[in-house]
Amino acid sequence: MTLEDTLLGHMMDGLKWCGQQHSKEFNYNSCPEWNECEFNPVKSFWRRASANFAELACGNVMVMLNGSLDSPFNKQSIFGSVEIENFDPKKISYVRIWMIDSLKDRASCDSNSLKDLGTILNNRGLKFDCKDIDKSEILQCIKDPSSQSCNCGNWN
């Protein structure tokens, strides 16, 4: 489950809003972009919601990263700067990382950004592993989710 799969996340996903000087009304038309100001209201909302979401994580946590990026793990992302910091090692048994890509020359579990992620998880006392997954495997499971090969246990 992702944050956007929750009721609140689903309702808020894609919305933009901000306040206005000298008014109690919301401004839906000319809000600063995500990185234009540190206290962007939408960014602040998602940071707080992500922190709460991560605090509640328990059991086995699944993380899917985009292996087509040169640096799939970004310390400045919401995941890297908020969620990992709010994972409770007492409640999380394991973190499973899937690097999803179809190009063999792109980032893999051996990439530097994943080594950075591994160091952060280790320092927080979280056990983890990483598996490179070809995106064609994921696409096959979208077409036929009941297939035996689509059981998450098969991708250990």
The type of residue at 22 is: H
Question: Bridge-partner residues for 132, per DSSP?
Answer: 99
pLDDT band at 133 (very low <50, low <70, confident <90, very high): confident
Q: Give the model's pLDDT for residue 105.
A: 64
pTM of the full structure:
0.76
Give the DSSP H/E element, type plus range, for residue 82. none
**Largest Cα–Cα distance of the chain, in whole Å?**
60
pLDDT digits (tens, 9 = 90+) for 15-24: 777 777 787 8
Domains with residue ranges and CATH for the chain? 1-56 (1.20.82.10), 60-156 (3.40.50.720)
